[in-house]
Amino acid sequence: NAGVTQTPKFQVLKTGQSMTLQCAQDMNHEYMSWYRQDPGMGLRLIHYSVGAGITDQGEVPNGYNVSRSTTEDFPLRLLSAAPSQTSVYFCASSTRVDGRSYNEQFFGPGTRLTVL
């Protein structure tokens, strides 16, 4: 199993450009999420999905769109990039174990995004 994969690893954008960060998982996990991490700010939830066709907003959703057409893929779209979106973006997936919470999340390697 490849686990959670993210592409690209690095990206530089100019202000106003749009792009899609790709995330895929091969563990058949129903739950997927996107986080951004800025220095000293921890991991902040952008959007999440509890299954194909279902998405919801996290803590910092403005400026980002998501869709979940398949179980495997959960792309994150930046509509019009701004310097404030310079960050490291992590995708994660999870599944309920024995009816409990999503106790363990599996993270991808991250995408380092710089917006000039």
> By CB under 8 A, is residue 104 in contact with another protein?
yes
Q: Tokens 């490291």 belong to which residue?
A: 88
> Nearest approach, Cβ of 18 to another protein (angstroms)?
25
**67 or 102, CB closer to another protein?**
102
Joined tokens for residue 78: 């930046």
Regarding 7 and contact with another protein (CB under 8 A), the answer is no
Residue 78, phi then psi, degrees to nearest 5: -95, 120
Q: Rounded to an integer, what distance in angstroms lies between the CA atom of residue 78 and that of residue 82?
A: 9
Site for another protein contains 106 (CB under 8 A): yes
* Among the listed residues 59, 57, 4, the one whose alpha carbon sits nearest the alpha carbon of residue 28: 4
Q: Looking at beta carbons only, is 17 or 95 nearer to another protein?
A: 95
Binding flag, residue 64, another protein (CB under 8 A): no
Among 5, 16, 59, 79, binds another protein (CB under 8 A): 59
Q: What is the Cα 28 distance to its own chain's centre? A: 16
